[in-house]
């Protein structure tokens, strides 16, 4: 694949939240996981662990867990809370629970500060997830990041029997999109690129950030 074809796959990837029936074959799933296997990671620790399920009952339970969290958040702040119910996690063909082993951080011998170790740890796992998403997009599948927040972690840990100290970070549905979302606005390269030193005039005004990503 040349750089132009790769860029087209990157541009094609979308956060899909409406799925339809359609199988992810074993071969396709293996290709997606193979992409994760080759992701860069701090000190080559490869901290990621994936729990993969096609079990519809488990997916249904995941939907209930996320929906109950959404209901609670909505009750607490019915006016301002704009989060989605994540009901779609029950409709995908495959669910991937993205976990990671925090003990790998002890290998970061040149990184002393806990916060710096955490950055490297999460960036490593995120790289693997992004590469999974790109290969999924190249195969015509939609994916989306679903955060595992504290409110749902215990139930997901029990459902998938994830032991301590393994961390639960995200859930990634994989499946055929009922419709493929259009591209959202992107900043111009010149807006976020600074040569030699940061250009203060390019710093976004807070009011602009609050309004993003409209239009």
Domains of the chain: 3-184 (3.40.109.10)
Residue 106, token pair as written in the block: 């002890």
Q: What is the pLDDT of residue 214?
A: 60
39: nearest Cα among 102, 132, 144: 132
| Contact between 196 and 185 (Cβ < 8 Å) | no
d(CA 152, CA 158): 10
| pLDDT tens, per residue, the chain with 215 residues | 799 999 999 999 999 999 999 999 999 999 999 999 999 999 999 999 999 999 999 999 999 999 999 999 999 999 888 888 999 999 999 999 999 999 999 999 888 899 999 999 999 999 999 999 999 999 999 999 999 999 999 999 999 999 999 999 999 999 999 999 999 889 999 999 999 999 999 999 998 888 877 65
| Contact between 12 and 141 (Cβ < 8 Å) | no
Q: What is the pLDDT of residue 172?
A: 98
DSSP string covering the chain, please?
Answer: --HHHHHHHHHH--B---EES----HHHHHHHHHHHHT---GGG---EEEEEE--HHHHHHHHHHHHHHHHHHHHH-TTT------GGGGTSSEEEEEEE-GGGGGG-TT--SHHHHHHHHHHHHHHHHHHHHHHHHHTT-EE--EE--HHHHHHHHHHHTPPTT-EEEEEEEEEEESS-PPPPP---HHHH--SSS--GGGSPPHHHHHHTT--
Q: What is the pLDDT of residue 82?
A: 84
CB-count burial class (<10 Å; 0-12, 13-18, 19+) for 168: buried
């Amino acid at each position: 694949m040349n750089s132009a074809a790769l860029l087209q796959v990157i541009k094609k990837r979308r956060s899909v939240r409406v799925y339809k029936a359609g199988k992810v074959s074993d071969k396709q799933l293996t290709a997606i996981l193979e992409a994760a296997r080759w992701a860069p990671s701090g000190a080559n620790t490869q901290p990621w662990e994936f729990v993969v399920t096609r079990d519809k009952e488990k997916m249904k339970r995941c939907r209930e867990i996320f929906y109950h969290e959404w209901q609670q958040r909505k009750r607490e702040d019915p006016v301002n809370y704009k989060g989605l119910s994540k009901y779609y996690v029950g409709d995908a063909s495959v669910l991937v629970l993205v976990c990671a082993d925090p003990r790998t951080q002890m290998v970061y011998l040149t990184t002393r500060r806990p916060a710096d170790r955490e950055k490297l740890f999460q960036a490593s796992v995120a790289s693997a997830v992004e590469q999974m998403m790109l290969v999924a997009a190249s195969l015509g599948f939609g994916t989306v990041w679903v955060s595992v927040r504290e409110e749902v972690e215990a139930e997901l840990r029990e459902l998938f029997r994830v032991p301590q100290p393994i961390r639960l970070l995200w859930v990634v549905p994989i499946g055929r999109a009922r419709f493929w979302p259009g591209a959202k606005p992107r900043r111009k390269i010149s807006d976020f690129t600074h040569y030699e030193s940061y250009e203060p005039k390019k710093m976004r005004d807070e009011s602009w950030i609050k309004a993003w990503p409209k239009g």
